[in-house]
Amino acid sequence: YKYIREVIRKLYKNEVKNTYKPIYMGSKGRYKDKGVIRDIEKNIREYKQVNRKINTEIIVIYFIDTDDCNADAVRKKEFDTIEKYCLNNGYKLAYFCHDVEDVFWGMKVEDKQKVKKANEFVAKNKIKDVDINNLNCNVFKRHKSNIMLILDNYWVRKK
């Protein structure tokens, strides 16, 4: 989540009309878990209650790692299933090839180092070192993501 938050904070204008609430799935395999769905629905209800007078569009965006789905038929099927699920439910799907650290650091990060590296990314303002072209890609390729292609539909980029 810290990487996504940095993209939004550093690359997009802070607009009152936009707000976001992360819901942690724990793993992409839990994309349709009852607890995840319950949390999404709860947050939508709460947002609508607080903002009753505002006619607003609510968008759900799933952010997932693709792993190396092009090289593994099981992972590719899993990604396709998640993509279809999002499409059927009106959700958007942002992906990171092969994973979020691969996109933002340009390398694989060991599981036990992931929290440390995410904190370092924020503390050292490493978003400035990320090639924005890597965040604007709609092709599954290592170090690439479609995150900005999705966010550009809802936020305005800083100049």
Per-residue model confidence as pLDDT tens digits over 129-150: 999 999 999 988 999 999 999 9
Question: Any idea what DSSP says for residue 93?
Answer: E
Q: Which residues of the chain have pLDDT under 70?
A: 16
pLDDT of residue 56: 78
CB of 23 within 8 A of CB of 43? yes
pLDDT of residue 41: 95
pLDDT of residue 124: 97
CA atoms within 13 A on the CB side of 82: 24
Tokens read off for 134: 């890597």
pLDDT of residue 72: 84
Listed residue (60, 48, 57, 47) closest to 87, CA to CA = 60
Distance CA 46, CA 157 (A): 28
- Cis-peptide into 98, omega within 30 deg: yes
Tokens read off for 90: 């009106």
